[in-house]
Structure 1
Amino acid sequence: YWFRRLEYLIWENRKELFKQDEHSLAVADDYIFVSNRRSREHIIPQTPKSESNLRWDDSDEDTAIRNSFGNLVLISSSLNSKLSNESYDVKKAYVQSYQKRSMGGAIESLSLLLFHTKFPDLDRDNMRDYIKEYGSFTYNDILKKSF
């Protein structure tokens, strides 16, 4: 429920949330709400299957951040199967293909689009902070303010 509500609230507030990026705003304007998006996907994968410099440590802190609200988005099961454990770079390229209009149709996750728009320069040094910041932003500044 919360992931679907977040998608709606991002769409509803898209002009404000994407005001600095006209390409992301255009993608958000084309968003289509469908009921098949029931699968949660990690923005930064749990264990990337391809080479990636973004990897989690085996610490309790990383486990908590990895599985936190800020690192999860709602997508379809078919897209989850396709993106599952792909590197962050592959997932970023997926979002960019919509921003550049090289991919047809509608993006499946406005939350994923918003993350990439807010944090275009994610790397190993800042990934934990950005995931925590995004989780706090989506929960406190979007979801909580809607009540």
Structure 2
Amino acid sequence: MYRIDRMRRDYERFTGAEGYAIGFHVGEDVYCAMLDRIPRRFTRVQKECSACGGGYGLYINVKSKKAKAELMKKAVKVGTLADLEGEYNKGVMFEKLVYEINGQTFRGKDNVKFTEGGDIVIDGKEIQVKYEHARICYDKTLQKLKKGA
């Protein structure tokens, strides 16, 4: 089995998320596509830097024109690239936009573990919010979870 397939399987086993808000930009506009699952073609495994402990990470990969074109079928415009500028990184600022379009108050960067829930609750579902090339999880974390299960 390929590393990506194992990591995806293990992630899906342990995640507390019931859906995903995937963000991306086209030109200056920022969009959000709601998905029940993250398709394999939108993920990749990447070697982590030694300062991060080495190993591998599972990442969202929706920067290609093909991926964005596919996501556009389910996407809504939520803002502009200027809206992603602020006190946090683009991923957290995108999460703020998702809160705002859903009529909820953003309370800053959260520290909820992916095994415990999503980043926001929408229509009673735990939704994990990810922007363009965000890390989903570390392989090292998945290995620890498997040992404890």
**Same fold? TM cut 0.5:** no
TM-score grouping bracket, smaller chain normalisation: 0.3 to 0.5
Report the TM-score, using the length of structure 2 for normalisation: 0.34
Whichever structure has more helix as a proportion of its residues is 1
Whichever structure has more strand as a proportion of its residues is 2
